[in-house]
Structure 1
Amino acid sequence: MQLSWEDLRLFLAVYEAGSLSAAARALGLGQATLSRRMSEMESAVGEPLFVRGAQGVRLTAVAQRLLPSTQRMAEWASEASLSLCAPADRPAGRVRIAAPPGLAQSFLAPFAARLQQQYPELRLEVLAGEAVLNLSRGEADLSMRVMPPSDPELICLDQISGPIRVFAAPSYASSLRRPYGLADLRWISWAAPFEGLRMHQALVEAIPGFTPSFSADDYNVQYAACVAGVGALLVADIRHRYSQFERLLDLGLDLGPTAVGTMYLVCHRRQRQLPKVQAVIDALREELEWARQASAN
């Protein structure tokens, strides 16, 4: 089956507008013409693409499978237009980065300010969450994740590691009576549905009957609780340019040689060819190299 880019462009417009009438207005077409084109496309596919209702349209199962590829085609078409208008050293457009919330807040948000100075026409869109987005389906352009990719179409562009350490606010640290061990601390950890994450499981394995004193499903909430003196927190000690460790104390507890956290920078092979994505990759790799040098000194 061969689908033309023009038909796919119209299909995407209907999806984004939410109705045939709204899409027709946005495209400058008659609604009857657009409806006919979509019917012809559905005939070529062999199945309906939209369920039509009083409130507009929604995608069928086959259309949902078609949507990610169509969105990527639109992005490449936009990138082709931009490449003709913008100088090679001035990449432009949106780049989506998926990352855990803690890294998104402490690293990517301030990183965006530095990137903007270098490439004012680039726009970062940070997708913060613990779930690993699917780069093959185009859910993001880049990913910073705690596990290496297993998909052969994904490239690990860089990685950085640091020891997992126990941190606490000075107010809580001063209340502890020495000597103390892991089981003597009030712990901050993960709430449902993230009890399976590595940091939580490390505490479950190290402390019999482990129950956190405070839990949250967002790392930024955990960090705020730690700063407030609620308890201790496990953190991979990776000192990047924007680190906020100065607000916390390392309690000096040894978790063993295998207690290491690693962050991986991942991209799909096809996305790496986009100049705007490559510009962000280069900037991120410079930041990670800065962090490695800072740790070595």
Structure 2
Amino acid sequence: MAAKTDRDRKHASAGSREPSAALTRRLNWDDLEVLLALARAGTLTGAGQRLGVNTTTVGRRLDGLEAALGVHLFDRSPSGVAATELARGLVPIAEAMERSVADALRLVEGRETEAEGLVRVSAPPGIANWFIAPAIARLRARHPKLIVELDAAVGYADLTRREADIALRSVRPRAGDLIALRLIEAESTIAAAPELIRKIQKLEDTSAIDWINWGPDLASLPDARWIADNVDPTRVVLRTSSMDAQIQAARAGLGAIIVGRPFLDWIELDELPLGPKLTKRVSALPTGSLWLVGHKALRGVPRIRAVWDFLVEEAAGFKPPR
């Protein structure tokens, strides 16, 4: 009887250890990556965009994770998902693992010897479309084994979480283990189609023409604030957060926009001269900067160094063809 009891104790002990071992096998970085994406995005669609998969896949991976762990992690509703208390407790642990994975990748990538493979570049849409995209052919001619993933986004990619390898930003970062180099510092100017400029010759009153400005989500930009401070709101006939839409509308003669002076040749618009009285009456046009940003640990990786050095060289010339 005692022997049977001992065996029972052993089986009970083994059984008590089994869930822990199963949990170890079933919970990995892929699972925690899904949890993080859902916690940050708040919707299946947003999480899918972060992970590069569709909404159905995110839902299936969440179902599988909850089934494997035997716990409920997110409450779902038509408006999105809400993390349970358990999921919120797992978030900082998942973030620590995310940093460890990023550190491991940086260590491996540091052993590269040739500029080849994928480099992810994040930039504001206007910079991505008019500065980086046209230059990629020249980059590939120099480094044919490079592949560029260009993210044209208004929001900033988090370099510490490996959302991008290199970023171009209008503001220098103040936090994180990052390095930043100012590529360009340029005054803004008022630009319009050549036909419109020939018609009015010189701008004597901001209300004499129509204007194109940023949408409400970008109303805090210096260019948008200048227009808000110096132009009658009724003369702002188009508001859009798309730089391409602004440029195309201005090209068609809809009105004037504010851009960095070095970009005039690229976008085929001309500078609109201001009359001396108007120059005294309106506030000074803003000056903008463009910063090249990267993670310190990746600066020496050959493929990232190649793209970094190339962008520095392109910005130094900054003489785009007409």
Q: Same fold (TM over 0.5)?
A: yes
| Aligned residue runs from structure 1 range 26-105, under 5 A | 60-67=87-94, 70=97, 73-74=100-101, 77=104, 88=113, 90-105=114-129
Aligned partner of 2:152 in structure 1 is 128
Asked whether the equivalents of residues 204 and 210 of structure 1 are also in contact (C-alpha less than 8 Å), the reply is no
Distance 1:152 1:228 in 2: 43
How well do the aligned residues superpose, as a CA RMSD in angstroms? 3.8
Supply the AA of the counterpart residue of 2:290.
M
Structure 1 stretches of 4+ with a deviation exceeding 4 A read: 7-10, 14-23, 48-53, 62-84, 208-211, 254-258
Supply the AA of the counterpart residue of 1:191.
G
CA drift of 1:144 comes to 0.9
1:221 equivalent to 2:241? Answer: no
Which of 116, 125, 135 is the matching residue for 1:111? 135
**How many residues were matched structurally?**
259
Aligned partner of 2:271 in structure 1 is 250
Asked whether the equivalents of residues 215 and 241 of structure 2 are also in contact (C-alpha less than 8 Å), the reply is yes
CA drift of 1:231 comes to 0.6
Aligned partner of 2:220 in structure 1 is 196
CA drift of 1:95 comes to 1.8
Aligned partner of 1:285 in structure 2 is 312
CA drift of 1:181 comes to 3.0
Distance 2:25 2:309 in 1: 32
Q: Structure 1 residues 79, 133: closer, same or farther in 2, change over 3 A?
A: closer
Gaps spanning 5+ residues in structure 2: where? 1-23, 35-50, 52-56, 77-81
Asked whether the equivalents of residues 164 and 261 of structure 1 are also in contact (C-alpha less than 8 Å), the reply is yes
Supply the AA of the counterpart residue of 1:275.
P
Asked whether the equivalents of residues 166 and 234 of structure 1 are also in contact (C-alpha less than 8 Å), the reply is yes
Aligned partner of 1:237 in structure 2 is 261
Supply the AA of the counterpart residue of 1:271.
L
Asked whether the equivalents of residues 209 and 235 of structure 2 are also in contact (C-alpha less than 8 Å), the reply is no
Aligned partner of 2:48 in structure 1 is none
Distance 1:256 1:221 in 2: 26
Gaps spanning 5+ residues in structure 1: where? 1-6, 24-34, 43-47
Distance 2:26 2:119 in 1: 21
CA drift of 1:275 comes to 2.8
Aligned partner of 2:174 in structure 1 is 150
Asked whether the equivalents of residues 9 and 70 of structure 1 are also in contact (C-alpha less than 8 Å), the reply is no
More helix by share: 2
List per-residue Cα deviations over 1:256-283 (Å, max 9, x = no partner).
6663121111123233243322221111
Distance 1:140 1:83 in 2: 16
TM-score, normalised by the number of residues in structure 1: 0.71
Supply the AA of the counterpart residue of 1:251.
L
Single out whichever of 116-125 and 196-205 deviates more from structure 2. Answer: 116-125
Which of 156, 164, 176 is the matching residue for 2:188? 164
Asked whether the equivalents of residues 157 and 267 of structure 1 are also in contact (C-alpha less than 8 Å), the reply is no
Supply the AA of the counterpart residue of 1:102.
G
Aligned partner of 1:263 in structure 2 is 290
Distance 1:251 1:188 in 2: 14
Larger radius of gyration: 2
CA drift of 1:218 comes to 1.0
Asked whether the equivalents of residues 213 and 239 of structure 2 are also in contact (C-alpha less than 8 Å), the reply is yes
Supply the AA of the counterpart residue of 2:266.
Q
Asked whether the equivalents of residues 69 and 137 of structure 1 are also in contact (C-alpha less than 8 Å), the reply is no
CA drift of 1:109 comes to 0.9
Q: Structure 1 residues 239, 193: closer, same or farther in 2, change over 3 A?
A: closer
Distance 2:93 2:140 in 1: 34
CA drift of 1:80 comes to 5.8
1:12 equivalent to 2:29? Answer: yes
List per-residue Cα deviations over 1:226-279 (Å, max 9, x = no partner).
111111110011259xx524x212112357666312111112323324332222
Report the identity percentage: 24
Secondary structure of residue in 1 paired with 2:236 = coil
